[in-house]
């Protein structure tokens, strides 16, 4: 759905950098993410577990720049198969 979001594990490599982190994507990007695209608008600190409630400092993509949100993190998960 257009107004849904999902969290997924993104492992991407480009140039000389490898990223491993949880990301948040829009529901409309589900198919692209299934094909390996790490198109995210928010992301967790690298190499941290999304289920750990004390992990904060998520970043949000605003005007093509990543902005750290010191208090941002996961407060609730609704798990679904798929």
The reply to whether 77 falls in a domain is no
Q: Where are the alpha helices (DSSP H) in the chain?
A: 30-34
Is the pTM value of this prediction over 0.75?
A: no
Check residue 28 and give its pLDDT: 92
Query: Strand (E) positions, 15-64?
Result: 17-26, 42-43, 58-62
The reply to whether 44 falls in a domain is yes
- Read off the pLDDT of residues 21-32 as tens digits, 9 standing for 90 and up: 888 899 999 899
Instruction: Give the CA angle between residues 27, 63, 4 to the nearest 5°.
Output: 15
Measured distance CA(72)–CA(74) in Å, rounded: 7
Tell me how many domains the chain contains: 1
The reply to whether 23 falls in a domain is yes
Range of the domain at 10: 5-69
The reply to whether 22 falls in a domain is yes
The reply to whether 64 falls in a domain is yes
């Amino acid at each position: 759905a257009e107004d849904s979001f999902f969290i997924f594990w993104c492992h991407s490599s480009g140039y000389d950098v490898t990223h491993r982190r949880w990301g948040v994507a829009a529901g409309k990007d589900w198919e692209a993410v299934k094909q390996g695209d790490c198109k995210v608008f928010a992301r967790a600190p690298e190499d941290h577990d999304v289920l750990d409630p004390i992990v904060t400092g998520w970043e949000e993509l605003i005007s093509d720049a990543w902005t750290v949100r010191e208090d941002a993190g996961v407060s609730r998960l609704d798990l679904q198969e798929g």
